[in-house]
C-alpha cells in the first residue's frame, strides 16, 4: 500500500480511487493463509519482501517455479534480479514434483499471451455495457456487399464495428491512452494515434486453439478502404502463421469478438500498455422475444441487438468517458454523421448505395425498435398515433432549446435574480404533457443525462444546462465539437464530485484569499489594491488549471491579467512572498531601505504594485508548474497578444535546424474584465490568431472576471450583447458561464475548458460572473452610481463563508476547523508585517523584486560585435539560398532574378533583399533562431524578398533558407493577418520569452505602425524602465517619400525619436545593403538586448547606388555615421556640411547641381538613436573651415528627425557653427497627396540644400 487517498469516515463516490497499491509488490508479514512450509497458499512462492525482487525476477520465478525466498540477490541492497532466478533454477531450486499429467511449455505468441494475461492482473479495470440495435448495421452491410459483389470483396460486421471504434476513438482519444509509472510517479501516456488490436481465434491443425492479437497501427489516420486492406492482410498472415513480433507492438485499444462463438457478453482482460478493450457479443433478438415467431418479431419491427462492453483502465479513464465512447459507437453504427456513406465513398462506391438501404424494422414503430425499451409481446402497441409522433418531434425541439438557450434560465448571478428564461424551454408551450413525456423513451432522443423517459430526463437536462454553470456551444460550426461538448455536459464528466479532503483544501484556499484581502485593507486603509473579493474563485480555478496542465504534460502557465485581484494571484498562485507585497504598500520607507542595501533590480521608474509581473512555481500533486504572470500597463487587454506570444515561445523547441512546437508544454491564460472584453478591439484581434499557423498556441483559456460593472458604467451602457462573452461566439469559441459563488461549479468549468483545449487545441471562454465588493478601487464609493447593487453586496456574505456553511451542512468540516484556519492565516500575516516593519526601520530590508526610483537604466556600452562573414561562407550560403528541388517549378518571372543572385557575388551589386537573406543565413549557421512575421513578409511588400517560393504548377511552397545544410537554428517566416496590435504584441511576447532569438516584425508600410501605438509606447519603449523587461524585438518599417501619399511615406520617425531615452532602444535608417547586413547581424549578436526599429527603404531596394559589393560584407561593420567619401579627401575646401538620414541622400548626391556645390559635403546619420554624439562631433571637426551645418530631411519640420536633432546637434558640435534646417515646413499631414506636388517640393528641398 503506497498511499491512502481518503480519510476515515469519508463518504466516497462510486468509482472514486481510495488508495494506490504498488502493482506486483509482495505483501508484508501477514499476507493471508500459509502452508506449513511458510509459502503463501497456492502457486509459486514469492519473495518475503516484494521490494527485494525486481518485477521481471518475480515473473520469471513464477513461470519457472523458483522460490524467491531461497534466492540470494546480487542487485542493489540485495535485490533479486532475473539472472539470480535463472542461476537458482540451474542449481536445482525449482518447482516441486510436477502435478500428474503431461505439461506443455507455452511458446511463441501463446507464451507471450500468457505472460500478458499475468501482467493484466495488476490493472484496476472497470467495464461499461451497452446494448446496440443492429438492424441498420445489417442492412448497410448487405447493401455494401451487394455493390462489391463483382469485385469479390466483402465487408463483415467486424470490419464495420472495428471502424466505428476507430471513428469514436478520434472523438474520445482518452480511451486510447495508457498508464505508466515513471520515476515512481503515475503518468498517463498519449500515444498520438489509435493502434487497434484485433483478437483472432486460431484453430491449429491438432485442434487446439490460440488467441492472436495483431495490431493495425495508426488506424485513425486511414480511410476505410486502407483500414479494410490492412485488416484483411493481418488476418491472412495470422492464418498463415506469418506474423512477426512487430505486428503485436503498440496496441492501445483492442477489439475481441467472442459473440462469433455465441457468447452474449464478455468482460475480457485488459493488457498492460492499453487503455481499452472492446468486446462484442452475439447478434440476436432480445431475450424476451427469443421464443416469438420470427414473422411476428419482424412485423413489429423489433431489432436484433448486440451487447458491447468497454473494459478500461480505471486509473486514467472514467466511467463517463467509457459510456460516452460506447454511445458514440452506437450512433455511428446507427448511421450518424454519414458513417456508412463515408465507408462507401472510401471503397469507391456511390454513397447512395447505403443511403437507400433501410433496416428491416425501419417501417415499424420507432418506440418498438429501441432494444432498451422493447416490451414483451403482450404489451406491444401497434404503430404510434399522430399525437405521439408530434410529441417526439416537440421533444427534440425542447431538448435543442435547452442546449441552445438553457443559459437564459441559469442561476448565474451571485447577487440574485435568475435568468429571464425563454418560452422555448417550457414543455407546455410545445404541448408536451407529463403523460406524453412519460411515453417518450429517452433512448431515442440521443441525450446523455440519466432517465428512461423524457419525463425522467428533463429535470436532469435542467440541472445540466440551467444551474450555476451554463453553456453556449450550439453556435460552433464543428459538428464533432458540438457532439463532444454535449456528451461532456450531459454526462457530467467534468463535474465529478470532489472528495472530502479536496473540499477541505478548497475551503482553506478561500479562507487564505479572504484573510489576505481583508488584512491588507485594514493594514493599508485608503490604499488602492483592486480587491479580488466577489471573484475569489479565480484563485482555486488557476490552481486547478495548473494541476490539470501538469497532469497532461504541461510545464508552464503563462498569464495575463489586469489589476482586479492581481495581488491575490501573485500571492497565492505564483507564490510571490507576502513580505514583498506588503513592502510595496510601505512606500518610500521600503524603497529607501532597498536602496541602502543596493538591492534594486534595475533603474528606471518602476510601476505600481498591481502592474508587476512575476514568476513562481506552483506545487501540484502531479509536480511543479512554472507560473509566469506578464507585466502589463493600465491599457486594458493589450497584454493579451503579449501573453500568447510568450506562450508560443515557451512551447517551441528552437535547438537544431527545425522548429518543434508542443502546445502541451505551456498553456496561456488570459483574465479579462467584463467591460474591456467586448470593448477593446485587441481582444478580437487576439482571438483571430488562435488557429493561424504562425500564431497557434493550442488554445488559450479566457477567464472573464465579470463583476457586472465597468468602473461606474452599467453593462447596458457598455455593450450591445446580453453577456460580456458574446463577442467570442464570432470566433467559433465555446462559452462557459459560471456563478462565482459556486466554487465547485467553477472548478468544473476549468476542467471542461482544459479538456476541450486538450481535445481540440482551440480557445475557450469562461465567463465568471461575480461582483466587486468595493468600488473600482478601495477609495471609490460604488453607491454613487450603482446604489441598489452596492446595497446587495454589503449584505452578501463572502465566498469563504458561503462554502464553509455548505461543508458544515455536509458534515465535511467542523466550525472549529474553520475558525482555526482563519485565525492561523491572520496570525501569519500579522507576523510577516511586524517583521517587515522592523527590518525597514533597521535598514535591513532587501527585496530585489521592488522596482522604482529615479536611477537611470544601464547606459554602458556593449563590447564591439564582429559582423563580417568570410567570403567562403557567404558563397556557400548564397548557392544554397538559390537551390530548390528539381521537381519544383519556380515562377518563370522569378527565375531570372533568383539566378542573378548567383552571379552578383562576383559581378555585383548585392541589393537589400539579397544582403538580408545572407545576413539571416549566416546567423542561422551560427545558432541564432530567427522569426520574421508581417503582412506580406514571405514575398515582401515590394516583391523584394521571396524567401518562400511557390511552385507555379502545384502551388506548393519551398523555402531554401529553411533547408541550409549548416544551419544550427531554425528560421521561421509567416505572413501575418491584417493586424498591427495583436501581431506586434505577439512578437513582443515571443521576444521577451526568447531573448536569444532575433524576432522581427515587419509593417506593410511604416505608416501603419501607429495602429499598434499602445504596444510601442507601453511595452517596447517603456518595458525596461517600468518592469526591467527588454527584448531584441526588431521592427522593420518601410519609410521614404516617393510621392505615394500621406499614408505610404512616413513611419513617423519623430515619435520613435521622442520615445528614445536612457538607451531604451535603437533606431536606424540604413542607406546601403551592406549597412543593413551588418545592422541585422549586430542586433542578433550584441550582448545587450534592446528593441530596434529599422526604417527600411522602399525605392532604394533596387537602386544600384544603394547596393553593395561582396567585400562590403566580408569586411567592416555597421557605421553609425557615413562621411562623404569624395569631400573627406579635401576637407579644407568644405564650408557647408549637409547632414541627413535616409533616402534623401541619393536625391542630393544624384542631383544635376551636385557638381556645382564643390564646397558642400553630404554625410548620413545611419543610427539616429542613441544619438551618435561622438561620431557627429568627429565628423564636423574633420572639416576645419565649416561655416554652417544644414540638416536636410524629406519630412515636415515637426516630423522626422529634426525635432530631436535641433537640440542634439548643438550639443555635439558646439554653438560656434550655425545649424539650420532645410525640408518641408510644419504640416498636419506627412506628405503631399499628389505626385506632381511631391516632385515640386522635393526639388525645392534639394536645390535649397545644395545652393541656398
Quick one: how many helices (H) and strands (E) in the chain? 40, 36
What's phi and psi for 131, nearest 5 deg?
-100, 125
* Residue 533, pLDDT above cutoff 50: yes
What is the C-alpha to C-alpha distance for residues 402 and 865, in angstroms, rounded to an integer? 66
**In terms of Cα–Cα distance, which of 321, 353, 326 is closest to 338?**
353
Buried b (16+ CB within 10 A) or exposed e, 1208-1233: bbeebbeeeeebeebbbeeeeebbbe
Q: What does the pLDDT read at residue 380? A: 41
* Residue 375, pLDDT above cutoff 90: no
Q: 1136 pairs with which residues across the strands?
A: 1160, 1188
Give me the mean pLDDT over the 701-722 stretch: 85
Q: Which pLDDT band holds residue 363 (cuts at 50, 70, 90)?
A: very low
- Cβ contact 357:163 at 8 Å: no
* Residue 97, pLDDT above cutoff 70: no
Distance of CA 1218 to CAs 196, 1148, 1180, Å?
Answer: 85, 21, 12
Distance of CA 910 to CAs 899, 916, 1002, 1124, Å?
Answer: 13, 10, 21, 21
High-pLDDT (> 90) share of the chain, %: 63
In sign, the C-alpha dihedral spanning 1139, 1140, 1141, 1144 is negative
Q: Which pLDDT band holds residue 744 (cuts at 50, 70, 90)?
A: very high
Decide yes or no: CATH 3.30.300.20 for domain 1121-1251: no
Question: Is 314 known to be catalytic?
Answer: yes
Sheet strands side by side (includes 735-739): 469-472, 735-739, 764-769, 701-706, 666-673, 556-561, 623-629, 614-620
DSSP character for 1018?
I
Do 1121-1251 and 529-574+593-772 fall under one CATH topology?
yes
What is the C-alpha to C-alpha distance for residues 165 and 680, in angstroms, rounded to an integer? 45
Burial of 987 (0-12, 13-18, 19+ CB in 10 A): buried
Which residue reads 447478434 in cell numbers? 283
Domain boundaries, the chain: 3-95, 125-355, 385-467, 529-574+593-772, 871-1114, 1121-1251
- Please give the residue that has the higher pLDDT: either 122 or 750: 750
CATH assignment of 871-1114?
Answer: 3.40.50.12470
Least confident range of 125-129, 195-199, 262-266, 812-816: 262-266
DSSP character for 176?
G
* Residue 22, pLDDT above cutoff 70: no
- The topology under which CATH files domain 125-355 is Chloramphenicol Acetyltransferase (3.30.559)
pLDDT in tens, 642-682: 999 999 999 999 988 999 999 999 999 999 999 999 999 99
What is the C-alpha to C-alpha distance for residues 1060 and 857, in angstroms, rounded to an integer? 12
Q: What does the pLDDT read at residue 116? A: 61
Q: Which of 228, 314, 494, 611 is catalytic?
A: 314
DSSP per-residue codes, 218-240: TGGGS-HHHHHHHHHHHHHHHHT
* Residue 498, pLDDT above cutoff 90: yes
Q: 307 pairs with which residues across the strands?
A: 131
Q: Which pLDDT band holds residue 1090 (cuts at 50, 70, 90)?
A: very high
Q: Hey, which bits of 587-714 come out as E strands? A: 614-620, 623-629, 652-653, 660-661, 666-673, 701-706
The Cβ of residue 919 has, within 10 Å, a number of other Cβ atoms equal to 27
- Please give the residue that has the higher pLDDT: either 292 or 715: 715
Q: 706 pairs with which residues across the strands?
A: 769
Q: Which pLDDT band holds residue 692 (cuts at 50, 70, 90)?
A: very high
Least confident range of 188-192, 608-612, 810-814: 608-612
pLDDT in tens, 883-938: 989 899 999 898 888 888 888 888 779 999 999 999 999 999 999 999 999 999 99
What's phi and psi for 471, nearest 5 deg?
-140, 145
Least confident range of 428-442, 777-791, 1070-1084, 1125-1139: 777-791
Give me the mean pLDDT over the 299-321 stretch: 84
**In terms of Cα–Cα distance, which of 858, 859, 878, 862 is closest to 1084?**
862
- Cβ contact 196:166 at 8 Å: yes
Q: Which pLDDT band holds residue 949 (cuts at 50, 70, 90)?
A: very high
SS3 279: strand
- Cβ contact 800:540 at 8 Å: no
Q: Which pLDDT band holds residue 111 (cuts at 50, 70, 90)?
A: low
What is the C-alpha to C-alpha distance for residues 333 and 341, in angstroms, rounded to an integer? 12
Give me the mean pLDDT over the 146-158 stretch: 87
- Cβ contact 213:198 at 8 Å: yes
* Residue 417, pLDDT above cutoff 80: no
Give me the mean pLDDT over the 955-984 stretch: 95
**In terms of Cα–Cα distance, which of 719, 722, 768, 720 is closest to 421?**
722
Query: Which H/E stretch holds residue 83?
Result: helix 82-90
Q: What does the pLDDT read at residue 474? A: 97
Q: What does the pLDDT read at residue 149? A: 83
Distance of CA 747 to CAs 418, 542, 739, 806, Å?
Answer: 21, 9, 11, 16
What is the C-alpha to C-alpha distance for residues 557 and 546, in angstroms, rounded to an integer? 7
What is the C-alpha to C-alpha distance for residues 112 and 211, in angstroms, rounded to an integer? 10
Report, at the CATH architecture level, how domain 529-574+593-772 is classified: 3-Layer(aba) Sandwich (3.40)
* Residue 3, pLDDT above cutoff 60: no
Q: Which pLDDT band holds residue 77 (cuts at 50, 70, 90)?
A: low
Q: Which pLDDT band holds residue 611 (cuts at 50, 70, 90)?
A: confident
- Please give the residue that has the higher pLDDT: either 441 or 847: 441
pTM: 0.73
User: Who's near 1220: CB < 8 A, 6+ residues apart?
Assistant: 1188, 1189, 1190, 1191
What is the C-alpha to C-alpha distance for residues 148 and 349, in angstroms, rounded to an integer? 8
- Cβ contact 1034:1085 at 8 Å: no
Amino acid at each position: 500500500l503506497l498511499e491512502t487517498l481518503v480519510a476515515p469516515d469519508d463518504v466516497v463516490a462510486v468509482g472514486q480511487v481510495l488508495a494506490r497499491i504498488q502493482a506486483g509488490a509482495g505483501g508484508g508479514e501477514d499476507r493471508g493463509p500459509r502452508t506449513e512450509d511458510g509459502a503463501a497458499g497456492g502457486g509459486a512462492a514469492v519473495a518475503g519482501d516484494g521490494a527485494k525482487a525486481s518485477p521481471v525476477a518475480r515473473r520469471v520465478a513464477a513461470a519457472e517455479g523458483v522460490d524467491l525466498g531461497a534466492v540470494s540477490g546480487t542487485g542493489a541492497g540485495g535485490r533479486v534480479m532475473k539472472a539470480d532466478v535463472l542461476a537458482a533454477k540451474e542449481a536445482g531450486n525449482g518447482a516441486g514434483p510436477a502435478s500428474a499429467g503431461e505439461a506443455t511449455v507455452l511458446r511463441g505468441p501463446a507464451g507471450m499471451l500468457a505472460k500478458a494475461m499475468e501482467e493484466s492482473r495488476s490493472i484496476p479495470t472497470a467495464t461499461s455495457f451497452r446494448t446496440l440495435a443492429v438492424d441498420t448495421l445489417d442492412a448497410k452491410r448487405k447493401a455494401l456487399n451487394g455493390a462489391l459483389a463483382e469485385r469479390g470483396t466483402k465487408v463483415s460486421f467486424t470490419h464495420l464495428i472495428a471502424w466505428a471504434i476507430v471513428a469514436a476513438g478520434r472523438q474520445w482519444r482518452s480511451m486510447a491512452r495508457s498508464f505508466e509509472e515513471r520515476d515512481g510517479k503515475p503518468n498517463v501516456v498519449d500515444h498520438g494515434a489509435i493502434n487497434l488490436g484485433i483478437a483472432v481465434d486460431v484453430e491449429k491443425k491438432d485442434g487446439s486453439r490460440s488467441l492472436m492479437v495483431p495490431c493495425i497501427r495508426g488506424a485513425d489516420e486511414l480511410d476505410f478502404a486502407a483500414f479494410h486492406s490492412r485488416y484483411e492482410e493481418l488476418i491472412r498472415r495470422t492464418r498463415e502463421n506469418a506474423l512477426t513480433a512487430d505486428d503485436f507492438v503498440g496496441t492501445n485499444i483492442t477489439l475481441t469478438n467472442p459473440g462469433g462463438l455465441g457468447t452474449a457478453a464478455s468482460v475480457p482482460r485488459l493488457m498492460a500498455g492499453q487503455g481499452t478493450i472492446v468486446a462484442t457479443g452475439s447478434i440476436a433478438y432480445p431475450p424476451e422475444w427469443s421464443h416469438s415467431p420470427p414473422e411476428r418479431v419482424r412485423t413489429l419491427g423489433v431489432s436484433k441487438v448486440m451487447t458491447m462492453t468497454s473494459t478500461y483502465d480505471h486509473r486514467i479513464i472514467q466511467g463517463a468517458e467509457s459510456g460516452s465512447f460506447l454511445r458514440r459507437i452506437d450512433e455511428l453504427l446507427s448511421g450518424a454523421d454519414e458513417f456508412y456513406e463515408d465507408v462507401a465513398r472510401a471503397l469507391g462506391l456511390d454513397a447512395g448505395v447505403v443511403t437507400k438501404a433501410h433496416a428491416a424494422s425501419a417501417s415499424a414503430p420507432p418506440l418498438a425498435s429501441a432494444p432498451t425499451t422493447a416490451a414483451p409481446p403482450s404489451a406491444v402497441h401497434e404503430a404510434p398515433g399522430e399525437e405521439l409522433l408530434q410529441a417526439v418531434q416537440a421533444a427534440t425541439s425542447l431538448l435543442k432549446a435547452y442546449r441552445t438557450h438553457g443559459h437564459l434560465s441559469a442561476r448565474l448571478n451571485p447577487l440574485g435574480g435568475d435568468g429571464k428564461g425563454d418560452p422555448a424551454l417550457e414543455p407546455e408551450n410545445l404541448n408536451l404533457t407529463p403523460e406524453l413525456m412519460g411515453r417518450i423513451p429517452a433512448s431515442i432522443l440521443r441525450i446523455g443525462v440519466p432517465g428512461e423517459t423524457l419525463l425522467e430526463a428533463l429535470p436532469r437536462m435542467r440541472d445540466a444546462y440551467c444551474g450555476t454553470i451554463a453553456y453556449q456551444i450550439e453556435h460552433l460550426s464543428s459538428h464533432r465539437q458540438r457532439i463532444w461538448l454535449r456528451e461532456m455536459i450531459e454526462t457530467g464528466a467534468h463535474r465529478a464530485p470532489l472528495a472530502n479532503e479536496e473540499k477541505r483544501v478548497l475551503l482553506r484556499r478561500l479562507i487564505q484569499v479572504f484573510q489576505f484581502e481583508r488584512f491588507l485593507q485594514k493594514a493599508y486603509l485608503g490604499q488602492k489594491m483592486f480587491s479580488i473579493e466577489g471573484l475569489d474563485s479565480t484563485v482555486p480555478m488557476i490552481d486547478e488549471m495548473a494541476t490539470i496542465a501538469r497532469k497532461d504534460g504541461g510545464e508552464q502557465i503563462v498569464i495575463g491579467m489586469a489589476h482586479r485581484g492581481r495581488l491575490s494571484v501573485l500571492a497565492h498562485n505564483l507564490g510571490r512572498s507576502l513580505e514583498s507585497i506588503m513592502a510595496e504598500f510601505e512606500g518610500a520607507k521600503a524603497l529607501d531601505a532597498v536602496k541602502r542595501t543596493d538591492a534594486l533590480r534595475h533603474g528606471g521608474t518602476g510601476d505600481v504594485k498591481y502592474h508587476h509581473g512575476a514568476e513562481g512555481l506552483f506545487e501540484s500533486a502531479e509536480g511543479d508548474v512554472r507560473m509566469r504572470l506578464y507585466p502589463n500597463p493600465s491599457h486594458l487587454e493589450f497584454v493579451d497578444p503579449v501573453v500568447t506570444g510568450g506562450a508560443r515561445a515557451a512551447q517551441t523547441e528552437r535547438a537544431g535546424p527545425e522548429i518543434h512546437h508542443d502546445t502541451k508544454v505551456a498553456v496561456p491564460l488570459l483574465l479579462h474584465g467584463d467591460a474591456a472584453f467586448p470593448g477593446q478591439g485587441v481582444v478580437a484581434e487576439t482571438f483571430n490568431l488562435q488557429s493561424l499557423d504562425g500564431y497557434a498556441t493550442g488554445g488559450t483559456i479566457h477567464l472573464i472576471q465579470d463583476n457586472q460593472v465597468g468602473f461606474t458604467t452599467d453593462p447596458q451602457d457598455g455593450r450591445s450583447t446580453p453577456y460580456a462573452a458574446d463577442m467570442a461566439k464570432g470566433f467559433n469559441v465555446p462559452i462557459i458561464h459560471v456563478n462565482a459563488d459556486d466554487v465547485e461549479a467553477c472548478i468544473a468549468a476549468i476542467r471542461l475548458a482544459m479538456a476541450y483545449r486538450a481535445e481540440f487545441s482551440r480557445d475557450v471562454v469562461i465567463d465568471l460572473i461575480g461582483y466587486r465588493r468595493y468600488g473600482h478601487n478601495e477609495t471609490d464609493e460604488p453607491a454613487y452610481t450603482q446604489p441598489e447593487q452596492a446595497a446587495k453586496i454589503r449584505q452578501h456574505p463572502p465566498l469563504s463563508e458561503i462554502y464553509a456553511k455548505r461543508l458544515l451542512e455536509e458534515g465535511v468540516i467542523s466550525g472549529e476547523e474553520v475558525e482555526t484556519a482563519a485565525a492561523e492565516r491572520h496570525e501569519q500575516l500579522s507576523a510577516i508585517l511586524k517583521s517587515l516593519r522592523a527590518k525597514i526601520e533597521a535598514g535591513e530590508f532587501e527585496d530585489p523584486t521592488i522596482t522604482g526610483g529615479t536611477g537611470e537604466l544601464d547606459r554602458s556600452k556593449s563590447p564591439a560585435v564582429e559582423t563580417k562573414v568570410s567570403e567562403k561562407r557567404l558563397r556557400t550560403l548564397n548557392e544554397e539560398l538559390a537551390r530548390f528541388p528539381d521537381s519544383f517549378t519556380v515562377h518563370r518571372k522569378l527565375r531570372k532574378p533568383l539566378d542573378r543572385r548567383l552571379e552578383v557575388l562576383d559581378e555585383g551589386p548585392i541589393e537589400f533583399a539579397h544582403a538580408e537573406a545572407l545576413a539571416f543565413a549566416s546567423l542561422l549557421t551560427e545558432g541564432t533562431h530567427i522569426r520574421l512575421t508581417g503582412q506580406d513578409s514571405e514575398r515582401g511588400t515590394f516583391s523584394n524578398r521571396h524567401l518562400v517560393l511557390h511552385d507555379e504548377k502545384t502551388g506548393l511552397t519551398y523555402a531554401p533558407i529553411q533547408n541550409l545544410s549548416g544551419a544550427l537554428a531554425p528560421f521561421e517566416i509567416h505572413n501575418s493577418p491584417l493586424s498591427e496590435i495583436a501581431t506586434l504584441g505577439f512578437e513582443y511576447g515571443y521576444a521577451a520569452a526568447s531573448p536569444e532569438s532575433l524576432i522581427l516584425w515587419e509593417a506593410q508600410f511604416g505608416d501603419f505602425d501607429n495602429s499598434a501605438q499602445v504596444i510601442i509606447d507601453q511595452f517596447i519603449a517603456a518595458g525596461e524602465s517600468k518592469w526591467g523587461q527588454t527584448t531584441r524585438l526588431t521592427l522593420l518599417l518601410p519609410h521614404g517619400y516617393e510621392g505615394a501619399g500621406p499614408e505610404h511615406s512616413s513611419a513617423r520617425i519623430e515619435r520613435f525619436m521622442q520615445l528614445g531615452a536612457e538607451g531604451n532602444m535603437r533606431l536606424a535608417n540604413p542607406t546601403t545593403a551592406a549597412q543593413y547586413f551588418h545592422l541585422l547581424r549586430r542586433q542578433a549578436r550584441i550582448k545587450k538586448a534592446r528593441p530596434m526599429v529599422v526604417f527600411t527603404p522602399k525605392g532604394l531596394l533596387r537602386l544600384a547606388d544603394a547596393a553593395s559589393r561582396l567585400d562590403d560584407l566580408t569586411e567592416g561593420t555597421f557605421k553609425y555615421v557615413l562621411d562623404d567619401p569624395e569631400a573627406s579627401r579635401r576637407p579644407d575646401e568644405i564650408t557647408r556640411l549637409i547632414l541627413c538620414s535616409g533616402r534623401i541622400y541619393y536625391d542630393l548626391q544624384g542631383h544635376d547641381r551636385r557638381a556645382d556645390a564643390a564646397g558642400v559635403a553630404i554625410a548620413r546619420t545611419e543610427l539616429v538613436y542613441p544619438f551618435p554624439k561622438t561620431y557627429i562631433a568627429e565628423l564636423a571637426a574633420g572639416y576645419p573651415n565649416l561655416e554652417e551645418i544644414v540638416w536636410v530631411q524629406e519630412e515636415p519640420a515637426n516630423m522626422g528627425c529634426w525635432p530631436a536633432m535641433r537640440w542634439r546637434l548643438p550639443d555635439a558640435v558646439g554653438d560656434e557653427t550655425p545649424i539650420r534646417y532645410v525640408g518641408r515646413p510644419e504640416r498636419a499631414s506627412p506628405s503631399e497627396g499628389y505626385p506632381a506636388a511631391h516632385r515640386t517640393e522635393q526639388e525645392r528641398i534639394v536645390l535649397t540644400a545644395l545652393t541656398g
